Amino acid sequence: MFKKVFFLKNILSTLSNYKRGKIHLSNPPLLAWVEINNICNLKCIMCPITFSTSRKKVIMSLAQLKQIVDQIKGFILEVYLFVGGEPLLHSDIISIIECCKTNGVEPVIHTNGVKLSDEISKALINFRVRNIFFSFDGYTKETYENIRVGANFENTIENINQLTAIKKEKKTTKPHIVIETLMDRVNIRPFTIEKEKKFKELFIDNNNISFTRKYISNFATEMPANEIYTFPKTVRGFTFTPCPNLWSSLNILSNGNVVPCCIDFNGENILGNINNESISKIWNGPKIKELRLKHFNGDIGDIPLCSKCGSVHRKNFHGIPFEFPGIGSFVRNTFNYDVYRAIWNRTVNL
């Protein structure tokens, strides 16, 4: 409880610093993204990792992960265990989950579900992980396998159903299962409500699963055209707002490089490296402070990652984006995922 009170105070401090355009921050990060590997077993047609990444493949060691958790455990509620890879491919994924939970940091796992095994499912349950998110794009076998190239529709559903079966056997509700589908704003035929209804029926105990629909973004990069997704323009019709990630989030790649954003898959904007500097030093270092100043002044034309990103035009309330990073962490960990999603739907309107 004390940590949540501290975290809430940190949220208010962060919002104040963001609104005033402070570039040297008194608040620590609200959220951490830690890429435990940048390896994936699929070739998804809408993923920058499939087409544009040029980084060397690196698997973060368990020892390095422990060093990161030790530095952030005092002020972070959640750590996202991915940026540009599939977390369940890490051979130490169970030990990584254990490390996070025993240090009071909730691990957030987004996975394609292909490598979900009984052993991993039991670990998720035993360590009482709150939520697990499955990226499941496509309500039919044809659409899903055309989008998530290398995956098998029936096998992935079976993996998720097996997790549900083990949960029922152990008489637990955790982890809560969330199935996320990326939709297209233009081509809605693969994502109709009728198809979604039939899709839901494939899952056992589906009344206790959250099914969410999100719209595809442009991932701040040029993506090759395909028959399913139309990647949106940079401007979505909302007001420009400085990127809140620079005031709220820490993003660590598998090689230790710290970048300003979770979609900097190629490590284009390196702020420092945790092998050479502490997280606190990087958080108020000269490179990130320069980015904060540029964003606050709206001067991002010479930053390709930022100028191409659709997320700098956001729905906001008096200049503060509704989807400000870190607030969701507080809601999910204080209440539950469904409360968080209800708030998201009313504000961000996805």
What does 52-113 look like in DSSP terms, one character per residue? Answer: T--PPP-B--HHHHHHHHHHHTTT-SEEE--SSS-GGGSTTHHHHHHHHHHTT-EEEEEE-S
DSSP classification of residue 335: S
Of 296, 254, 253, the closest CA to residue 271 belongs to: 253
CB of 102 within 8 A of CB of 304?
no
Distance of alpha carbon 79 from its chain centroid, rounded?
A: 9
Residue 179, SS3 per DSSP: strand
DSSP lists the bridge partners of residue 314 as: 239
- How many other C-beta atoms can be found within 10 angstroms of the C-beta atom of residue 298? 11
The helix (run of H) or strand (run of E) holding residue 248 is helix 245-248
Instruction: For residue 178, give the H/E element and its range.
Output: strand 176-183
Burial of 299 (0-12, 13-18, 19+ CB in 10 A): exposed
> What is the per-residue pLDDT for 342?
81
Q: Is 256 left (phi over 0), alpha (psi -120 to 50) or beta?
A: left
Tokens of 266: 């190629």
Amino acid at 306: C
Radius of gyration, alpha carbons of the chain: 19
**pTM of this structure:** 0.93
pLDDT of residue 350: 45
E strands of 201-281, at which residues?
Answer: 209-215, 239-240, 249-252, 257-259, 272-273
Q: Which of 243, 242, 223 is nearest to 231 (CA)?
A: 223
CA distances 23 to 207, 229, 256, 280, 285, Å, are: 45, 37, 23, 14, 10
Give the pLDDT confidence score for residue 347 in this predicted structure: 66
Q: Digits of tens for pLDDT over the chain (350 positions)?
A: 678 898 999 999 999 999 999 999 999 999 999 999 999 999 999 888 888 667 899 999 999 999 999 999 999 999 999 998 999 999 999 999 999 999 999 999 999 999 999 999 999 999 999 999 999 999 999 999 999 999 999 999 999 999 999 999 999 999 999 999 998 877 788 899 999 999 999 999 999 999 999 888 777 677 777 888 877 765 555 678 899 999 999 999 999 999 999 889 889 999 999 999 999 999 999 999 999 999 999 999 999 888 888 778 777 888 888 888 888 888 888 888 888 878 767 666 54
Instruction: Supply 184's token pair.
Output: 């297209």
Instruction: Work out the burial of residue 186: count CB atoms within 10 Å of its CB; fewer than 13 is exposed, 13-18 middle, 19 or more buried.
Output: exposed
Question: 318 to each of 19, 168, 241, 304, how far by Cα in Å?
Answer: 9, 45, 10, 27
Distances 308 to 106, 120, 232, 243, 299 between C-alpha atoms, Å: 32, 38, 11, 12, 13
Q: Give the count of beta carbons closer than 10 Å to the beta carbon of residue 15.
A: 19
The CA-based diameter of the chain, rounded to the nearest angstrom, is: 56
What local confidence, expressed as pLDDT, does residue 133 receive? 97
Structural tokens at position 208: 């206790």
Q: Closest by alpha carbon to 23, among 305, 311, 304, 288? A: 288
Give the closest residue to 107 by CA, choosing from 89, 122, 87, 84: 87
In the chain, the amino acid numbered 51 is F
